[in-house]
Amino acid sequence: MENRLQIAAGNWKMNKTYSEGIELVKELIERTKEGRAMVILGVPFIHLKGVADLIASADSTGGQTSSIKLAAQNCHYEEKGAFTGEISVDMLLSVGTEYVILGHSERREHFKESNEILSKKVEHAISKGIAPIFCCGESLRIRKAKIHVDFVSNQLNEGLFHLSKEAFSKVVIAYEPIWAIGTGETATPEQAQSMHKEIRTLIERKYGKDVAQNTSILYGGSVKPDNAKDLFSQPDVDGGLVGGASLNADDFVAIINSF
C-alpha cells in the first residue's frame, strides 16, 4: 500500500443546484488540508467550471488544496458531433477536469452502458489525458449465485484489459457491491477486502505485480463516517467512492480524515 494513492472520491450523482454545490466545495476547501489522501470531487457537469475555479483560487492564495482534484461523472468516446446531451473529453479538459467516473452501476443499469462502450470511453479518456475511475461490481443475484468473481473479472477483461500496461497505470478502479448500495445491506470490511484482493490478483495476472501493487482500488458500497476507518484499514482497500455521504460536508470530511 506504501506506493498507492489513498483516495476519498465523492460522487454527487444528480444532486446539488449550482449554488448548493459551490457552498459545499467552499466548506470542503476550508476544512481539508493536504494530506496523504487525495480528494476527488465527482460533480455534475454544471459544477465543473465553478469548482475548478474555486480550487485554483485557493491554490493561488496559499490554500492547501493541491490534494483536491476534479472529476466528471461521464464522457463520450467520440471527439465531437451530433450526440445531443453528451459531453466530450475535450470539453472536460477545457475546464480543468482530471478524472472521469466510468461504468458506474447506475450508468450500466439505467443507460445500458455495455463493457464494449465503456472500453471505448476508457481508451479515449486516457488518450486525451483524463484518468478513468472505472467502476465494477455485482448485484445481489450474482453474489448469491457465488459467481461474483467471474462476473467482475469479465467486466475488467472487456472494459479495461485491452489497455497497454502504460495506459492501464492511469486507471483507478472502484469496486461497487451493488447489493450494498441503498439497500440497507452493508458489506463487511472482510468482504470488501476479499473482493479487492481478487481484483488485484486479476490485475497482477494481466499486467504483473508492480502494476497491480500500484493500482488504487476504491470501495464503493455505502461508505459512511462510522465504517470508513475499518474499510480503509484493509490492506487492499485504498479508499472509497462515496455517494450520499459526499453531499454533506461533516460526513465527507470525517471520511477523508479516516485514513
Cα Rg of the chain, angstroms: 17
Give me the mean pLDDT over the 118-133 stretch: 98
Topology given in CATH for the domain delimited by 6-256: TIM Barrel (3.20.20)
pLDDT at 184: 66
pLDDT at 187: 84
Give me the mean pLDDT over the 213-223 stretch: 95
Catalytic positions: 104, 176
Burial class from Cβ neighbours inside 10 Å (0-12, 13-18, 19+) for residue 190 reads: exposed
Nine cell digits for residue 259: 485514513
Nine cell digits for residue 100: 472521469
pLDDT at 34: 73
pLDDT tens figures, 56-97 = 988 766 555 457 999 999 999 999 999 999 999 999 999 999
Average pLDDT of the chain? 94
Nine cell digits for residue 246: 459526499
pLDDT at 65: 47
Provide the pLDDT confidence category of residue 51 given band limits of 50, 70 and 90: very high
Give me the mean pLDDT over the 173-185 stretch: 85
pTM beyond cutoff 0.75 = yes
pLDDT at 3: 75
Nine cell digits for residue 39: 480528494
pLDDT at 33: 77
Share of the chain above pLDDT 70, in %: 95
pLDDT at 201: 98
Please answer whether residues 62 and 34 qualify as being in contact, where contact means their C-beta atoms are separated by less than 8 angstroms.
Answer: no
